[in-house]
Amino acid sequence: MTALPPDPNAVIVTPGQMYQEVQHLSRLVSRMDGKLDGILADNREMKGDLTDHEARLRALELGETERQRRDEARLAALETRRWPLPTIGAVTGVAGVATAVVALFVR
């Protein structure tokens, strides 16, 4: 077999250069892996926050928070105490009309 003459445009890559390139790529992949781990950790944290926010929103929509329960109880108590006011107003009006009629006939 005859050896080919060297090509002046040929690129020769030595095993040492290949080893250095593989080592460089290994370091880059390791850095990317570390960054991905950080992104995944942040994603898990955001997912937990989102779950918490969703639970709180559902509680607000359903009226299940402590403050909403307390406000509902206060409102019910106020409505219970308020019912005699229209009745008292009607009785006062009737008493006023009766007084006016009596005063009219007494003269």
Sequential DSSP letters for 61-97:
HHT-SHHHHHHHHHHHHHHHHHTHHHHHHHHHHHHHH
Residues in the chain: 107
> Each residue of 34-79: pLDDT tens digit?
999 999 999 999 999 999 999 989 988 888 888 988 999 999 988 8
Pairwise pLDDT comparison (84 vs 98), residue with the higher score: 98
Q: What is the pTM of this model?
A: 0.44
What's the mean pLDDT when you consider all of the chain? 88
The structure tokens listed for 61 are 């929509």
With both helix axes pointing from N to C terminus, report the angle between 66-82 and 84-106 in degrees, rounded to the nearest 10.
20
DSSP state of 48: H
Amino acid at 80: T
Q: What are phi and psi of 2, to 5 degrees?
A: -105, 145
**How much of the chain, in percent, has pLDDT values that exceed 70?**
93
